[in-house]
Structure 1
Amino acid sequence: MSPRSCGCTRRRRHRVTSFEVVCRIADGLRIPGHLLGLAPRPWEKQEQTQPPELPDRRPAAADIPWRPDATVDLAADLTRSDLVMDRRALTLALAGAAVTGAALLDSLEGWLQPAAVLPPPARRGRLGMREIDELETTARAFRQWDHRYGGGLRRKAVLGQLAEIAGALDEHQAPDIETRLYRIMAQLAGTAATMAWDSGLHHRAQEYYRLALRAAHAGDDQVFGANVLAGMARQMLYRDRPDDALQLIQLAQEGARDVIGPRVRAMLHTREAWAYAAQGRTAGFHRATARAAEALAEAGTGEDEPYWIAYFDEAELAGVTGGRLLDLARQDPRRYADRAANEIRTALSSRGTEAGRSHALDRIGLAECRFLAGDIAGGAEDTHRAVAAARLTQSGRVRAQLGQLYPYTVGHSASRPVRDARDSIRDLLSN
């Protein structure tokens, strides 16, 4: 092996862990500071001093125009900056809080406008339908992996595939190929968002959600765009921002009202119900939940709607409803704890460990219901089942929920089953 090749090998093995190195990478690759959680770089400030007629080459993500070519540039920027850093450096640099309020909502208004039509390029790439079919299969596989295992175990692989899609779109393809490529980009970006979120990278997750929405817009996929907005709403609900979540759901319903099928409509109603429950509006919660059940009853076979919504069935509706009743039970356990437990048991009876993250969250929720209802022994028993389910997934959200379950096991030192349950949670979270 030549000295040059040895040097390349050593460089590939070097891990980016120093904050100073991250800064040098940003300057060398001209990556804007906001994409890496940094202050604006010196060269950005110089560009801002250019005459007014010269536009900023790298606008902030929220200000990027809703054009297909701008979406491709955004995908290239996001993936390039993520792929050069290891997990530890990425966590330090990009784990900022998600954008909320008007700063978030105003940046998404372009979703409601028709996609811009660009002049045809002089040359086109040579991707064919066979390659597109393979890319769609890969996107499905990554989505299924995230649904079952969660976390960021394959996040870099998803980002690498996303970068490849951006490269293919940058070369321009035949119109029907480009449309499908944008739709694949949207699905991969949505998966990258949930993986980033599961890894605690909340701001980065939001950036990928934005990319997914823009890609769905460019690919004229209003149904998946509504699904992306529902994902963003769920993130806001976990961040205790129900007002933002409700507006995001309303934006999804407005932009895709004429094209969504009953399963997607039912899913949107459950997110709406979640927001109402978080606001303490119990009448609105029950009304939206009833609408979700009515919409789901209209659903036919899985062939009638996109593959990615097939998970939303009666078991999913029961699990989501149980989770929202659990939210209410924390304020009024006598009224809601048993009702929440019954809904969660219905979900568990219909889906097992193959549901991965959802199954583990159901187990944790049921254990909390038992504690809230005063059934300490039953709560301890279900806690052991919850920990066993949590061991089968790498989801950060599952571990966060286990952390919220832990206080219920404190203060019962005389009970051996509760002590054992507490130790099982501590052992899992310490690894």
Structure 2
Amino acid sequence: MDATTPGPLAPEVLDRDDLKRALAEHDFAAAFSLIKKWGGLSQNRIASACQLTPGKVSTIINGQQQVTSFDVICRIADGLRIPGQMVGLAERPWERQSEAPDPQPQQPPAARLSDVTPWRPNATVHLAVDLTRSDLVMDRRAATRALTGVALSGAALLDSLEGWLQPAPASDNGHRRGRIGIREVQELEGTARAFRAWDHRFGGGLRRKAVVGQLNEVASHLEEHQAPEVERALFRVMAFLGGTAATIAWDSGLQQQAQSYYLLALRAAHAGGDPAFGANVLAGMARQMLYRDRPQNALELVHLAQKGAGRQASARLRAMLHTREAWAYAAMGRPSAFRRATAEAAEALTDAGSEEEPYWITYFNEAELAGVTGGRLLDMARQHPQEHAEAAADSIRQAVRRRGPEAGRSHALDTIGLAECHFLIGDVAGAVDHTRHAVEAAARTQSVRVRAQLSQLYPYTVGRSASPRVAEARTMIRDLLSS
């Protein structure tokens, strides 16, 4: 349904006191019955508008299932055009929409960097220019509409990456010397580090355009045919900025755009002769696949990263790749393989410190290992709480203690996971305390991922209305997610 399409409910239906009361109390069994009676909508029409199955609508109306998911509440409000305040949400985007949609929506930028594009330095520069220029000229509304498409997966993705394993060809640029030297490249690298540090702490897309603009500037320098050592250094800066742009885009919910920047970062690392950072990029792509419930794709990406990095992988990089491997095994329901890969990660991490590490992997330490391990144990605990919930809580608690609130997005994800662990264990009082801390931590980030994770706590707080503290926690979650 388009954002400017009039809602299916007439104003006089939304003005009914009985419907207002049902919506305010999240009594959707009564609300749907009233909408059927006074709004003239069939059960199938309600289901279609709210992106629900008719069977689910039937179970809600019959009182067999409560609506506890924050996402479903949003879909009901948006599908039936119920103002946000009537269901305890902030003003919905369509309520603020006054302009007509563009007659010809802009197309997403070069989002499909497939194997038809040769793995040559010049081709990588052209892709960077096209991608960043398209991204920079898009307004926010057009970008959101155009760039939220589904990222590539399966053979279509993996086949496009085979060129990464081949040696990078010599640059086909001329021998003209560009206007910048190594010192200027180092300044660009310093800016790229600052952007990455900001993203690690706060998440979200508030500075996405700034990162993309810097990436465009690096691409323009590469168009000028720099000296060989400057060119390689610029490609490495491009790779790093591309990885940061991918993370920020993904954290803003732009999955297809994130994959485009990941692929660009991988090609830039290849052109710059940096297989270690290329492996790091592949690990980011694997994480994206894991969040999209494609663990087999993720595992193949990790194995590709391990094969390509080879001996150039530092101890921390090897440990991080093993945790991605463990994550995939956990998602595939293979606890023994998960424990083996986690043990290999811990063993690799014990070697860290005896060698010089790239600055972009120094974040991976014992706290990060504990947080990632706890998160994966929590994934398994949702299916088997008695087997894994206590271990998940112990591991996440170590991460919270070691990295603290200054970790920003990671700290927020840790506290949310710890709250869920306590709900699974049955410690409601402890869960409520951790939920309060989780909401406070989440409010300090702009991360879509953090808010998506927080929404998973909402169902645990429904059906416990007898407890004022649980009701208060539920209100805190709802207020933040609807803001």
TM-score (norm 1): 0.87
Match of 2:233 in 1: 180
| Distance 1:197-1:17 versus aligned 2 partners, 3 A rule | farther
**Which of 267, 277, 282 lines up with 1:229 in the alignment?**
282
Partner Cα separation in structure 1 for residue 455 and residue 257 of structure 2? 23
Report the AA paired with residue 336 of structure 2: A
Partner Cα separation in structure 2 for residue 330 and residue 107 of structure 1? 35
Match of 1:373 in 2: 425
Is the 1:139–1:187 Cα contact (8 Å) retained in structure 2?
yes
After superposition, the C-alpha distances for 1:349-387 in whole angstroms (9 at most, x for unaligned) are 111111111000000000000000011111111100000
Residue 61 (structure 1) shift = 4.0
Partner Cα separation in structure 2 for residue 386 and residue 144 of structure 1? 22
Match of 2:71 in 1: none
Residue 93 (structure 2) pairs with residue 19 (structure 1)? no
Residue 220 (structure 2) pairs with residue 164 (structure 1)? no
Residue 248 (structure 2) pairs with residue 195 (structure 1)? yes
After superposition, the C-alpha distances for 1:152-204 in whole angstroms (9 at most, x for unaligned) are 01000000000000000011111110011000000000000000001110011
Partner Cα separation in structure 1 for residue 139 and residue 172 of structure 2? 39
Is the 2:280–2:317 Cα contact (8 Å) retained in structure 1?
yes
Is the 1:17–1:85 Cα contact (8 Å) retained in structure 2?
no
After superposition, the C-alpha distances for 1:311-366 in whole angstroms (9 at most, x for unaligned) are 11111100000000001100110111010000001011111111111000000000
**Which of 124, 133, 137 lines up with 1:84 in the alignment?**
137
**Which of 385, 392, 411 lines up with 2:437 in the alignment?**
385
**Which of 320, 324, 328 lines up with 1:267 in the alignment?**
320
Is the 1:17–1:88 Cα contact (8 Å) retained in structure 2?
no
What secondary structure does 2:246 align onto?
Answer: helix
After superposition, the C-alpha distances for 1:110-160 in whole angstroms (9 at most, x for unaligned) are 010011113450422120122111101000000001100101010000000
Is the 1:179–1:219 Cα contact (8 Å) retained in structure 2?
yes
TM-score (norm 2): 0.78
Q: Mind listing any 5+ residue stretches in structure 2 that lack a counterpart?
A: 1-98
**Which of 325, 338, 341 lines up with 2:393 in the alignment?**
341
Match of 1:352 in 2: 404
Is the 1:61–1:74 Cα contact (8 Å) retained in structure 2?
no
Partner Cα separation in structure 1 for residue 207 and residue 175 of structure 2? 37
Is the 1:36–1:93 Cα contact (8 Å) retained in structure 2?
no
Residue 246 (structure 1) shift = 0.1
Partner Cα separation in structure 1 for residue 128 and residue 403 of structure 2? 35
Residue 81 (structure 1) shift = 0.9
Greater shift after overlay, 394-403 or 61-70? 61-70
Partner Cα separation in structure 2 for residue 347 and residue 60 of structure 1? 37
Partner Cα separation in structure 2 for residue 414 and residue 421 of structure 1? 13
Partner Cα separation in structure 1 for residue 124 and residue 190 of structure 2? 22
Is the 2:282–2:302 Cα contact (8 Å) retained in structure 1?
yes
Partner Cα separation in structure 2 for residue 139 and residue 119 of structure 1? 26
Residue 257 (structure 1) shift = 1.4
Match of 2:184 in 1: 131
What secondary structure does 2:232 align onto?
Answer: helix
Match of 1:65 in 2: 118
Residue 186 (structure 2) pairs with residue 103 (structure 1)? no
Greater shift after overlay, 363-372 or 402-411? 402-411
**Which of 98, 103, 109 lines up with 1:35 in the alignment?**
109
Match of 2:337 in 1: 284
Partner Cα separation in structure 1 for residue 257 and residue 413 of structure 2? 23
Which has the higher Rg, Structure 1 or Structure 2?
2
Partner Cα separation in structure 2 for residue 120 and residue 179 of structure 1? 12
Is the 2:246–2:257 Cα contact (8 Å) retained in structure 1?
yes
Partner Cα separation in structure 1 for residue 206 and residue 139 of structure 2? 12
| Distance 1:17-1:203 versus aligned 2 partners, 3 A rule | farther
The structure with more helix, counted as a fraction of residues:
1
| Distance 1:34-1:21 versus aligned 2 partners, 3 A rule | closer
Residue 17 (structure 1) shift = 8.8
**Which of 422, 428, 431 lines up with 2:480 in the alignment?**
428
Match of 2:19 in 1: none
Match of 1:407 in 2: 459
Is the 2:286–2:298 Cα contact (8 Å) retained in structure 1?
yes
Partner Cα separation in structure 1 for residue 303 and residue 100 of structure 2? 41
Partner Cα separation in structure 2 for residue 321 and residue 163 of structure 1? 37
What secondary structure does 1:121 align onto?
Answer: coil
Partner Cα separation in structure 2 for residue 157 and residue 202 of structure 1? 19
What secondary structure does 1:257 align onto?
Answer: helix
Partner Cα separation in structure 2 for residue 62 and residue 145 of structure 1? 33
What secondary structure does 1:99 align onto?
Answer: coil
* Residue identity (%): 67
Partner Cα separation in structure 1 for residue 122 and residue 448 of structure 2? 34
Within-5 A mapping of 1:282-361:
282-300=335-353, 304-361=356-413
Q: Mind listing any 5+ residue stretches in structure 1 that lack a counterpart?
A: 1-15, 24-32, 38-58
Is the 2:113–2:263 Cα contact (8 Å) retained in structure 1?
no
**Aligned pair count?**
385
Q: CA RMSD in A?
A: 1.5
Within-5 A mapping of 1:143-162:
143-162=196-215
| Distance 1:118-1:430 versus aligned 2 partners, 3 A rule | same
